[in-house]
Amino acid sequence: KDYACKFLCDNVACDETRFAQSVVPKAPSSTKTLSCTSPVWPFDARTYTDSQGPGRARLVVEKGGVRLAFSGIANDDSFVYTDTWTVATPIIALSSPGAAIVTVSGNGFKAAADYTCEFSTDTTASPIVGTQSLKVVGARGTAVTSKRITCASPHWPSVEKPTKLK
């Protein structure tokens, strides 16, 4: 029951002191299977445009603080964290440009990466089928930390439909 799964940062920009750990809450389900929950990655993650960048981790399993040997196929102990967002605030703003600074919260954002906050009409809100006309407006996003992106709300050309952020 004292198993731990460590996700070690595995790229040239970091060393083994940078890791996220998941404690296995119960005994392995068999002599050959152990389930680990991937923990939140507190470092830069891989973006969609950054295929060779950060976010690559190597899975290490420990029992009682002792590392167990990996005997699988080469690179099968690799794991990739990608950046992801969970919530944006505020959810209401005026339609004039820069009326609000939208904060997008998530994990794995990279300071040097290019982000775009994409605002679009919420086509699911239209009560009449077939009347949805998609409008999309983008605004440059800036990674403030690995957990937060900000962007100024863009000018919104339409007020007749609710808007959603992607």
**Residue 49: what pLDDT?**
52
Bridge partners, residue 85, by sequence: 106
- Per-residue pLDDT at 150: 93
Q: Which residue has the tokens 């940078």?
A: 18
Instruction: State the pLDDT at residue 119.
Output: 82
- Residue keyed to tokens 């680990």: 36
pLDDT tens sequence across 120-141: 776 555 455 554 566 778 889 9
Of residues 69 and 9, the one with the higher pLDDT is 69
Q: What confidence tens digit (pLDDT) does each residue in 147-159 have?
A: 899 999 888 766 5
Q: Which run of H or E residues covers position 85?
A: strand 84-89
Amino acid at 29: S
Tell me, what DSSP letter sits at residue 39? P
What pLDDT is recorded for position 142? 92
Q: Does 69 have pLDDT greater than 80? A: yes
Mean pLDDT of the chain: 76
Look-up of token digits 């167990």: 68
Residue 162 makes CB contacts below 8 A (sequence gap 6+) with 121, 122, 125
pLDDT at 132: 53
Over residues 10-60, the pLDDT tens digits come to: 766 676 677 888 777 667 878 888 888 888 777 776 655 555 556 778 888
- Residue 83 near residue 146, CB atoms below 8 Å: no
Provide the pLDDT for residue 92: 74
Percent over 70 (pLDDT), the chain: 73
